[in-house]
Structure formats: C-alpha cells, structure tokens
Structure 1
C-alpha cells in the first residue's frame, strides 16, 4: 500500500531568513515578520512563532502589526527565494530518505516513502529523525504519514503535534473530523461552504455528490477523493539540473521481469556514459517505473564508493525487480543518480611479485542494499576519555583515519554501549569487589587489577565537571574476565552515585 509523508514548515519564510542571515540573524525570541504587497496594500505575508504569539496574523496590514508590537522586526518578503530554498530542501530529502520527493509550495514537501521506511528504522523513527534534523538546523517542522498525499497534507497541518502516523487503510476516518479547509480548497470556496453550514470534512463526505458538484464545480469532489483515497494524485519527483537522469518511454507497456531487466541495462549504459562525460560516479541510484494507472513504483540502491561500472550497477538494480509491481504495465522508466561524486579514471597496475589488495566494494554494495545502509559500518578509535565515546562508526569503505587509542590500560574486546548495573560486595571503598551479581548470576572475584581512574569530560556536559569512575579488571572463579567500575571516588557524593556497573567483557 502506498504511504506518503507530508512535511509542513509553518514558519518556513522566516526560518529561511534567519538561516540566511547567519550570526547577524535576530534572536529567536524577537518577533519577526515579512511584509509584501497584497494588492495595493502592504501586508504581513509571513510571521514567526514569536510574532504569532504576540497576536500578529498573516494578511494583517503591516502598519497595524507595527503598532501592536513596537519592537517588531520587519523585513521584505521574497516568495521566489522561499520557493528556491524549498526546492533545495526537497533535494536534501530526496538524497537521504526516498526516491520520490517533491516540493509542496509554499510551506511543505511531499515524500512517497512506500517501501523506504524500513531503511530508517520504521515510520515513527523516520519521521522523528527528519523533524529532529530540521530542528537542529533551526527549521520548525511537523509531519504526517498516510495512504494519500491529500490525507497526509491535511493531517500535517491540522493534527500533527509534531508528528502523526495514520494506520494503513485509515485515511477516511483520519481526516473525517478535520475542518474543510484541510482539503486544499480555494479560500472563497471554503467560505461558501461555511455559509451553508459545513465545517468538517465528514459533513461533506456524507452529502450527495451531484448537488455539490453542480453548485461548486468538480474541484470539491476531486480534493475529497484525493484525501480519502478514492482518487489518484501524482507526485512529480523533483529533478534539478545537477541530477544525472536517463529515461525511456514505451509505445506498449511492459511488465515481464526479463523485459524490465533488459531496459534497466540499456538505461544504465546511457547513465554511465553521462556520468563519464562529467567525471562522476554514482553513489545512489533511483529507479522509478511509471505505470499506466498513473502510479509509480520506486526502488533505490546505493554504493559505498563512486561507481560507473555498467554490470555492477545493472545487477544492483535488477536485484530490486522483485519489489516492482507492474500491474497493468509500465509506460515510462527512469534512472537517476541522486548522489554522484567525482570519479577519476584509474590505471590498473599489474605486479609480478605481490598480489593486489582485494576489492571488496562489490560485496559491500550487495550487503548494504540487502540489510540497509545503516546496518553496515566499521568501528574506529576516537579520542575520548569516556570509554563509551571512544568508538565511532564510519562507512564500510571509508578511508582509515589513523586515530588510535592512547591509553596504556587494556580495553575489553566487547564494550557495552551503555554500562549495566551490578550488585557488589566490597570490603573497602578503594578495593575491587569480593563478588558481584550480573544478569541474575552471582560471581566470586578471584583476581583483580586496578583502579584506573577516568574523569568526566567537563567541556561536554556540566554534570561531568567533577565526575569520576574507578575501573577494575576482575576475573571470576571460572576464568572469565570483566571490566567493571564504580561511579564516584568512594568519598564525595558529588563525583558519582557510587554504584557499580559492568562495562565490558574481555576475550
């Protein structure tokens, strides 16, 4: 079933202005409005959260807004720049989340995430991550996911706080109690419906369609069908000039897997020729198959390094054919290099003495597209005094950083991402425990070494200013060795809780 995300940016124009201004931007708590011409008068065209909290509204005369809020910051609106920036943001979403993304001016983005949410940990994790990333860039966002563009658009603007997930097949009930303005109708049509007493979508949906169409035209019925899932609404993916794309239209629709594979290979040949002409290699490819019923089937593959090898890219894309449902046939097929990076021609050097280093990038690409890009990584050392922060994840084919651990104390082969509490029996505060209980099993300590004192990183968090840990290597009667620590110095309660924790297991 189709799943569509609508991303709503309620203060997009003012957020864009603040981001563009950089360090010179007014503080977030200062009310900011953007004004422009609304007919013959200057009116407020955009207002940030602080301005709206002060009682200002879009459409209000600019002079009235300045009278109501004396310290109001007023700047000129630039709708064209807002739309251009929205296109760039849509491209950012395209490169990171799903193959089918389009801007939804003036304040939104629509994403067809069918079959793509599992790559981001599920729908809830995907929406939460998207909103969090935008918030980190000082962009306010709300998001909703539903079966249709119309339903997701309505829920994002009238129900999401800040996100909402409509269960599959529940678009009709999800939008039923929303105001009729959520149907994306013209303002004069919404006003006419209010005059007749209609306030909610369910009140329109339960009325006979013919009288409404006769009086208001087909727009009302079309928008209602799009919201409840009875009408098709095509999402035209964003395609900026910098994206390398090839496409093929068919006189007769195709549907057999062998035919799809044959045309994928032909398109990949064209794509690699264009990539070579630009000195680029593909890092991410999007295959979109447009069916005769105006629906699109999309598949995405990625590579660990820039690639423009025809056989390799063809195989990766053909592995996705089983996810394509041609239905009554595919009439248009396109392949887009969503992410492409410079790739210089390399000369193969044959050595008579030493064998060349094996190239595992092909295997990495295959695994990455099966288990997900985030599930495949390498762990590298990172300079940090706190053990759980001393490891970082990088891409499986990323170059070595050259970073090493500088501690003279040994570290366990298995380090837990989060320490686990244990119950201990200790004779003295500075001594290792005589025994400890971990995961319900009591272990008696036979040997121990330590303590190794680790201080908190005061420059990271204020509570770590005086925090310490005392680590011990202990061995139980079975010969198993563990890495445990006490939070605190054993005397001052401000240095830690003085509880004991298990942090790792030695091989």
Structure 2
C-alpha cells in the first residue's frame, strides 16, 4: 500500500513574507493580512493566525476587514513569489525526504514516501522531522500520511480533530473509509457551486455523497464528484507530476514494450547504474543518494531511494542497494520508463594505492550502506568522546563514516563498556564515608563486593548552574563474588549536605 503525505502550510504567504522582511517584519501577534484582486474586488488572500482569531478570513473584502479591525496591517500579496518559494521548498524536500514530490499549490506539497521512511525509523519520525525543521524557520505546517492523495489532502485540511498536538497523523489503510466519512464536501475539492447545491439537498458529508446512486449524481453534476470520490478511496489513480531538482545527474531507459518481471527490472537497474557511474566518473563525482523512478503505463510513478555513508561510484555496491528494494515496487500493468538520478553528489577523486607493504585499512562503507538502507540511517552511529567530565555527557553519537575525532577519554581511570543513560539507585552499606560499599542491592539482587578501587571524585560543571558547581560524585569500581564488575558512585563528599544527599547509584557495567 502506498504512503502519501500531504504537507499543508496554512499561512505560507505570511510566513514567507516574514522571512523576507527579517527584523523589519511586524510582531508575531499583530493582525497581518495580504490583499489581492479578485475580479474587480480587492479581497484578502492570506491572513495570519492573530487576524483569523479576530474573525478575518481569506476571500473577505478588504474594506470589511478594515472596518472590523482598526489596527489591521495590510500588505500586497505576491503569488508568483509564493509559488517560487514553494518550489524551492519542494526541491529541498526532494533531497531530504522523498524522490517523488509534487506541488499542491498554493499552500502545500504532496510527497510519495512509499519505501522512503526507513531512514527515520517509521512514518511518524519522518513527519515529525519535517514539521520540526519547518518550525525552526517559523513556518506553520501540518502533515498527514494516508494511502491516497485525496485522503491525505482532505484530512490535513479538514480533519483537525484526528491530528496529534504536534500537527501530524498517520492513517492506516483499514481506517481510511471511517477517517474520511464525516469530512465536509469541501474536502473533495469540488466546485463551490456544486457544494452549494448539494448542501441545499441535505448532503454535507463525504459518506452521504458516497451513498448516492452514481448515475443520478453524474447526470446532475457531471463526472467530477464521482471522480473525486474514487480518488479519495483509492479506486482511481490521481495525476502526479513530480518536481525535478535542477542540474541533477540522471540517466533513463525507455522500453518499447512495458516490463514488469522482477528479474527484468533488476537487469535494467544494473544497466542504469553502469551508465550513471560512467557519467559520475567523467565528472569526478560520487553519489551519496540514489533515486530510481518507475513510470508506469497508467501514468503512475513509483520510486525507491538508497543512501550511502560516503560518496561512491562502485557499480556492484550501488546496484545491490537498489536491487534489494525492488520488491517494494508495484509494476502495475507495466513499466515503460526507468529514471535513475543522483540528487546528492560529492567530489570523488582517484584513490592512491600503496605497494610498499602498508597494511590496508578495511573499508566498511558497503556494510554501513546495506544496514542503513535496511534498518534506517538514523539508527547507525559511532560513539565518540565529548569534552566533559560528567560521564553521561562525555559521550556523543556521530555518523558511522565520520572522520576520527581528536578527543580521547582519560586513560588514568577505566570507563565501563555499558554506561546507563540514567544512573540507577542502589542500596548499599559502607564502613566509612570514603570507603567502597561492602555489598549493594541492585534490581532486587544482593551482591557482595570482593574487590574495589577508588574513589575517583568528579565535580559538576560549574558554568551550568550553582547546583552543578556544588555537586560531587565519588566513583568506585567494584567486583562482586561472581567476577562481574560495576561502576558505582556516591553523591556528596560526606561533609557538606549541599554537595549531595549521600545516595548511591550504579552508573555502568564493565565487560
């Protein structure tokens, strides 16, 4: 089943104008509206959230809006600039989220994320990342993922009650009919005149329109209502014209007869990879991401995406990454064209090889690519040192193929192989405040300490807060009667209560 995301930008013209004005932009709580010509009338084409809260809406006459709000901020609309900015957002999203993205002008995008959510663990992760990045640039947005374009478009604009507080929702295919049943007819993108006539007949929801006889519906209103119903329920495909990134390296293959067999698709995938690698080699470039699009005879487009940990143009490696995901492609009645593109590229020169007996450095990038495309790029990482004395802050995650860091962990004191994200409380008994525990109880099991080393005193980071500046931890490396070794610490120095409450915690386990 396909996964289609509708990204809705309710105040896109206002947000774009604020970004352009920068520091000269009006305050966020000011009632700001944009005006344009509709025939001979000057009407509102966009309104900020504070303006909408005062009763203003798109389509209202400017004179009426000024009469309702005395301190209204009125500026001229610029639809071409809004559409140009929307295209730039689509190109950016094309490189980041999905190989198939179409404009849903004037205030949204459509993304086909089928098979492209693995990099974020799940569909909710992709939507959350998208909304978070837009919020960072002060752009209001909502997103819904559904099995059809029509359903996603309708739910993100008219299904506000099903959205999570962060403004996203994912609709299961089994819940599609129920999810769209109570939506108003405006969600079907019908003409205003048709909606007005249907409302006069007492038909206001999609489920009520779906229950009407199709023949009488077509006789009175034409084919548009039936077509929109079929599109929202997935009975009819909807035209989708994907945005293409400018100056993108790509190769394509057209077929005289449509293809559909998996082995045939795999064979031509390898041929496309060979052609793309030749173009990349001539340009001295390597691919960091590959998008393979399949154009079917029914005008539907499907795609698969593969990411790489570092730039490469190795034919076998790239072909394997793409062929592993062919099973997610539905050829339908046949594929008439295949297009392989490299949306993310980097300079890649020739590698120098030494014949003086130097030990070769193993290259694990191919393994990282395979694992990343199967379980998600975000789930693969390396652990590196960070400049902090606090153990849980001295570790950070970096990309698997990132350059080596210069920071190193201190070698004077050993550190556990497994460090808990949060220290776990334990019950202990110590002979003296500066002595290690004689025994401790952790997770309901009593462990007797046979050997111990310490204490290693660690102070808090004074620049963060006064409480941090006063805090003290005394760490001990202890070994129980079974030979297992633990890293425990006591809060406080045993003299000043402000340094800690003398509680004991287990922070890590040694191998």
Q: Work out whether the TM-score is over 0.5.
A: yes
> Which residue of the other structure, out of 202, 209, 214, is the alignment partner of 1:204?
209
- Deviation at residue 288 of structure 1 after TM alignment: 1.8
* CA separation of 1:298 and 1:408: change in aligned 2, threshold 3 A: same
- What residue in structure 1 maps to residue 147 of structure 2? 147
- What residue in structure 2 maps to residue 222 of structure 1? 227
For structure 2, the residue ranges without an aligned partner over 5 or more in a row are none
Post-superposition Cα deviations, 1:355-397, rounded to whole Å, max 9, x if no partner, equal: 4433332333233323322232211111234322322222222
Decide which moves more: 263-272 or 102-111: 263-272
- Deviation at residue 497 of structure 1 after TM alignment: 7.1
* CA separation of 1:33 and 1:404: change in aligned 2, threshold 3 A: farther
Post-superposition Cα deviations, 1:82-126, rounded to whole Å, max 9, x if no partner, equal: 222222222333223332222211111222222333432223333
| Alignment: residue pair count | 504
User: Is the 8 Å Cα contact of residues 289 and 306 (structure 2) preserved in structure 1?
Assistant: yes
User: Where does 1:318-333 land on structure 2 (aligned, <5 Å)?
Assistant: 318-333=323-338
Aligned equivalents of 2:149 and 2:233: distance in 1? 10
Aligned equivalents of 1:28 and 1:494: distance in 2? 43
Q: Does 1:176 align with 2:181?
A: yes
Q: Does 1:256 align with 2:261?
A: yes
Decide which moves more: 135-144 or 420-429: 420-429
SS at match of 1:240: coil
What is the TM-score of this pair, normalised by structure 1?
0.90
- What residue in structure 1 maps to residue 399 of structure 2? 395
User: Is the 8 Å Cα contact of residues 289 and 333 (structure 1) preserved in structure 2?
Assistant: yes
> Which residue of the other structure, out of 293, 307, 311, is the alignment partner of 1:306?
311
SS at match of 1:111: strand
- What residue in structure 1 maps to residue 345 of structure 2? 340
- What residue in structure 2 maps to residue 372 of structure 1? 376
* CA separation of 1:254 and 1:357: change in aligned 2, threshold 3 A: same
- What residue in structure 2 maps to residue 166 of structure 1? 171
User: Is the 8 Å Cα contact of residues 176 and 201 (structure 1) preserved in structure 2?
Assistant: yes
- What residue in structure 2 maps to residue 26 of structure 1? 26
Aligned equivalents of 2:256 and 2:405: distance in 1? 52
- What residue in structure 2 maps to residue 114 of structure 1? 114
- Deviation at residue 66 of structure 1 after TM alignment: 4.0
User: Is the 8 Å Cα contact of residues 458 and 464 (structure 1) preserved in structure 2?
Assistant: no
User: Is the 8 Å Cα contact of residues 489 and 504 (structure 2) preserved in structure 1?
Assistant: yes
* CA separation of 1:219 and 1:494: change in aligned 2, threshold 3 A: farther
User: Is the 8 Å Cα contact of residues 474 and 489 (structure 2) preserved in structure 1?
Assistant: yes
* CA separation of 1:218 and 1:364: change in aligned 2, threshold 3 A: same
What is the TM-score of this pair, normalised by structure 2?
0.89
For structure 1, the residue ranges without an aligned partner over 5 or more in a row are none
- Deviation at residue 45 of structure 1 after TM alignment: 1.4
- Deviation at residue 463 of structure 1 after TM alignment: 8.7
User: Where does 1:34-53 land on structure 2 (aligned, <5 Å)?
Assistant: 34-53=34-53
User: Is the 8 Å Cα contact of residues 9 and 141 (structure 2) preserved in structure 1?
Assistant: yes
- What residue in structure 2 maps to residue 82 of structure 1? 82
Post-superposition Cα deviations, 1:317-338, rounded to whole Å, max 9, x if no partner, equal: 2232333333432212111212
User: Is the 8 Å Cα contact of residues 115 and 305 (structure 2) preserved in structure 1?
Assistant: no
- What residue in structure 1 maps to residue 509 of structure 2? 505
User: Is the 8 Å Cα contact of residues 445 and 474 (structure 1) preserved in structure 2?
Assistant: no
- What residue in structure 1 maps to residue 477 of structure 2? 474
Aligned equivalents of 2:497 and 2:99: distance in 1? 53
User: Is the 8 Å Cα contact of residues 118 and 373 (structure 2) preserved in structure 1?
Assistant: no
